[in-house]
């Protein structure tokens, strides 16, 4: 383990499709809508969506996701 962080690194991960998310708010909203439509989720349970910023530690509500997950 003494060489960790030294040298040019490895190219072993180049073949991996990392599936990055281009629009996080849209992705969260899509996920909340999918959960909202699931037959085992009661309609009177609200579902919320948030994005966690790993740099600042902030948790930000995605308003569109909250609307998509509102209880009826």
Q: Find tokens 């989720």 and name the residue.
A: 41
- Alpha carbon distance 72, 42 (integer Å): 9
Tens of pLDDT along the chain (72 residues) come to 566 667 777 888 888 888 899 999 999 999 999 999 999 999 999 999 999 999 999 999 999 999 999 999
Tell me 13's DSSP state.
Answer: G
- Residues facing 52 on adjacent strands: 59
Q: What is the pTM of this model?
A: 0.74
Instruction: Report the candidate in 49, 27, 47 with the shortest Cα–Cα distance to residue 36.
Output: 47
């Amino acid at each position: 383990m003494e060489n960790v962080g030294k040298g040019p690194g490895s190219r072993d991960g180049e073949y991996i499709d990392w599936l990055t998310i281009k629009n996080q708010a849209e992705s969260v909203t899509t996920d909340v809508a999918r959960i909202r439509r699931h037959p085992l989720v009661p309609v009177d349970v609200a579902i919320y969506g948030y994005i966690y910023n790993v740099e600042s530690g902030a948790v930000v509500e995605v308003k569109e996701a909250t609307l998509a997950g509102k209880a009826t």
